[in-house]
Amino acid sequence: MSQNDQTIGSSNSAGSANYAWLSSYPEGVNWDETYSSAPLYELLDKSVERFPKHVCTNFLGRTMTYSEIGDQVNAIAGALQRIGVTRGTKVGMFLPNCPTFIIYYFAILKAGGVVVNYNPLYTVEELSFQVKDSETKIMITLDLKVLFEKVEKLLENGVLERAIVASFTSLLPGAKATLFKLFKGKEIAHPERSAQKSKIILAADLPIEGEAYKPVDIDPAKEIAVLQYTGGTTGTPKGAMLTHSNVRINALQVISWAPELLDGEERVFGALPFFHVFAMSVVMNYGVAKGAEIIIMPRFVVDDALKLIHKTKPTVMPGVPTLFNAMLNHPKLKKFNLSSLKFCLSGGAPLPLEVKENFERLTGCKVVEGYGLSETSPVATCNPLHGKVKKGSIGMPVPATVVSLRDLDDPTKEVPQGEKGEICIKGPQVMLGYWQRPKETADVFVGDFLRTGDVARMDEDGMFTIEDRIKDLIICSGYNVYPRRIEEACYTHPDVEEVTVIGIKDEYRGEAPKAFVKLKVSGSTTADELMAHLAKSLSKIELPAAIEFRDELPKTMIGKLSKKELKAEEEAKAKAASA
């Protein structure tokens, strides 16, 4: 993808007629779009200029306008510069969803720093690895014990140099702040009493008075805005180097995909965690770029989410399949009005067609499945909002993006249309590489294309359907079996709420699929009944060797169904049996 300081777009426009997706590209969306190159924080600056009095954040009932957010960002950017943040300084964000996240995110960027996102559920050991690997110098957090005590330990161990601690209760409306202190006071930490207080700056004590921040002259296409840690295709944590252009343009690509949504008039529901690349781009940066009101939930609780949607009437809701599923299976769902929703973007995991259709039927809202990864900032493909829907499809490339399916044995060769190949992506949202890992960076690129490790087919309309991850393949008696196909078949049973399929050791076949199933509250099907149902659509080689029912299935922080815990359990069982 050609990039320069003026515009960034498709480098293949001369041959674009050869791309199958152009024949069915959504009306009103230009695949050959070009995007100007600018710092990421320009998204906020433009909305502050255009919509100063519009609400930017709505957090537990307390609202702040774009003008108020912009003023705080500029003041804190200057304060960060005065305490030593300069071009390239790595600043960590160890925060739940809250206005503090948005303010410090853009302030760090304006000061010239690099945002490093941290998962609030990480252990001290996991945090220590990422702090050292990323060279994070300062960590931003809240005075909640569940967060502060981990940061305090990093300071105590000498892993982290300094921390800035903001007040949680100061974010709340007056009455809620008082009630929180009264009934949940034990959850509040007191950093001013910490043995590490010499390394701690209270946000209230930041030197915000004085000169405004000094703009830093950066090259948006080459300088890192965000280090986003990911397991990538190997599982080893690595920092994806996302430039200002990568992240900014990805938000604009999502905006291009839904041209009917209006600047300054939308309300985006923010239940997914901002530290995760999906919510960072399609909730926070998208919302800011649209001049939208961002309705922020500190964490997703289905009861609270439904009440909040009913009350605040959001129009856009990015989510993961388990979020939509949880809402659909809520016993009192009919009490809540979800009809304000216009556009829901699902990502992070495959979206079962039944979940999509049921949610659309309930709300009248379009739910479209997108696809991407941390290395692509993250959105690379999406289904069109209008027109034909194909079961299991991840859609087609978003503007200025090329998807090429490559031979599984030789990624330099493209496979013919209709045949399966590894998804490889080229576009302005593709990362520079992995932080301080030249070998891993070289391994994940083939020419200008990023190798994803996902296997897909492209149909005659240029729509892509994932068959599975390369490393998630189950080989049964020499035949390839794809867990996603089995999972989709399970979801067609009316009693199934969630399902995850993994490969387990099998003496006869080498490997065999095993399905872990959570039934709906009203569900009562047995393993034999479910197996009979699956036999209607799966070949004998694809049928699970075992079905295990669980009350809950393991999930990641953003609500994706997770396989690694189940694989570890099965491996431990196999080891114990052979001992």
Alpha-carbon gap, residue 328 to 317, rounded angstroms: 15
210 within a domain of the structure (yes/no): no
Q: Could you list the beta-strand ranges (E) of 99-213.
A: 114-117, 136-142, 162-166, 200-202
234 within a domain of the structure (yes/no): yes
> Is the predicted pLDDT of residue 4 greater than 50, yes or no?
no
The pairs formed by 483-486 with CB atoms below 8 angstroms and a separation of 24 or more are 483/513, 484/350, 484/392, 485/538, 485/542, 486/513, 486/515, 486/534, 486/538, 486/542, 486/544
Q: Do 377 and 319 belong together in one domain?
A: yes
Alpha-carbon gap, residue 229 to 256, rounded angstroms: 27
- Residue 9: the pLDDT is 61
Arithmetic mean of pLDDT, 201-224: 93
- Residue 8: the pLDDT is 62
Q: At what angle do helices 483-491 and 527-534 cross, to 10 degrees?
A: 110
Question: Could you give the angle at the alpha carbon of 101 between the alpha carbons of 336 and 374, nearest 5°?
Answer: 85
Q: At what angle do helices 302-312 and 321-328 cross, to 10 degrees?
A: 80
To the nearest whole percent, how much of the chain has pLDDT over 70?
96
Alpha-carbon gap, residue 564 to 465, rounded angstroms: 23
What is the b/e burial string over 553-569, where b = at least 16 CB atoms within 10 angstroms of the residue's CB?
bbbbebbbbebeebbee
- What CATH number is given to the structural domain containing 394? 3.40.50.12780
6 confidence band (pLDDT: 50, 70, 90): very low
Residue that is last in its domain, among 468, 487, 511: 468
- Residue 193: the pLDDT is 97
Torsion of CA 533, 538, 542, 547, to 10 degrees: -10
> Is the predicted pLDDT of residue 68 greater than 70, yes or no?
yes
Arithmetic mean of pLDDT, 179-185: 88
501 within a domain of the structure (yes/no): yes
- Residue 235: the pLDDT is 53
Arithmetic mean of pLDDT, 558-576: 90
- What CATH number is given to the structural domain containing 574? 3.30.300.30
- Residue 12: the pLDDT is 44
The answer to whether 95 touches 275, Cβ cutoff 8 Å, is yes
Alpha-carbon gap, residue 449 to 427, rounded angstroms: 8
279 confidence band (pLDDT: 50, 70, 90): very high
- Residue 1: the pLDDT is 32
User: Taking the chain, what is the end-to-end CA distance rounded to the nearest angstrom?
Assistant: 54
> Is the predicted pLDDT of residue 196 greater than 80, yes or no?
yes
Q: Which of 484, 457, 460 is nearest to 542 (CA)?
A: 484
Arithmetic mean of pLDDT, 169-195: 93
Which pairing describes strands 224-230 and 114-117: parallel, antiparallel, or unpaired? parallel
> Is the predicted pLDDT of residue 16 greater than 60, yes or no?
no
Alpha-carbon gap, residue 28 to 404, rounded angstroms: 24
Q: Do 25 and 67 belong together in one domain?
A: no
Number of C-beta neighbours around residue 439 at 10 A: 8
2 within a domain of the structure (yes/no): no
Q: Do 126 and 234 belong together in one domain?
A: no
Q: Do 156 and 28 belong together in one domain?
A: no
Number of C-beta neighbours around residue 440 at 10 A: 16
527 within a domain of the structure (yes/no): yes
Alpha-carbon gap, residue 58 to 313, rounded angstroms: 12
Q: Do 322 and 381 belong together in one domain?
A: yes
- Residue 389: the pLDDT is 79
Alpha-carbon gap, residue 281 to 279, rounded angstroms: 5
Q: Do 369 and 483 belong together in one domain?
A: no
Arithmetic mean of pLDDT, 94-103: 98
> What is the value of pTM for the model shown?
0.87
11 confidence band (pLDDT: 50, 70, 90): very low
Token representation of residue 476: 């049964």
Arithmetic mean of pLDDT, 269-285: 96
Tell me which residue range forms the domain holding 435.
7-39+221-468
Q: Do 268 and 339 belong together in one domain?
A: yes
Which residues touch 219 (CB under 8 Å, ≥6 apart)? 5
| DSSP notation for 134-165 | HTEEEEEEESBHHHHHHHHHHHHTTS-SEEEE
Q: Do 185 and 254 belong together in one domain?
A: no
Q: Do 382 and 463 belong together in one domain?
A: yes
Q: Do 20 and 77 belong together in one domain?
A: no
Name the phi and psi angles at 114, rounded to 5. -115, 130
- If you compute the radius of gyration of the chain from its CA atoms, what whole number of angstroms results? 24
Residue that is last in its domain, among 433, 468, 503: 468
Q: Do 430 and 479 belong together in one domain?
A: no
Residue 269: strand pairing partners: 295
> Is the predicted pLDDT of residue 401 greater than 70, yes or no?
yes
- Residue 2: the pLDDT is 33
357 within a domain of the structure (yes/no): yes
Token representation of residue 538: 């799966």
Alpha-carbon gap, residue 436 to 323, rounded angstroms: 35
Number of domains in the chain: 3
Average pLDDT, the chain: 92
To the nearest whole percent, how much of the chain has pLDDT over 90?
80
211 within a domain of the structure (yes/no): no
Alpha-carbon gap, residue 22 to 8, rounded angstroms: 19
Residue that is last in its domain, among 443, 468, 493: 468
> Is the predicted pLDDT of residue 182 greater than 90, yes or no?
no
- For the stretch 478-526, pLDDT in tens is 677 888 889 999 999 999 999 999 999 887 778 899 999 999 999 999 9
- Residue 231: the pLDDT is 67
Q: Do 241 and 270 belong together in one domain?
A: yes
> Is the predicted pLDDT of residue 14 greater than 50, yes or no?
no
Choose between 233 and 113: higher pLDDT. Answer: 113
- Residue 50: the pLDDT is 98
- What CATH number is given to the structural domain containing 173? 3.40.50.980
- For the stretch 318-356, pLDDT in tens is 999 889 999 999 999 999 999 999 999 998 878 888 899
16 within a domain of the structure (yes/no): yes
Residue 506: strand pairing partners: 510
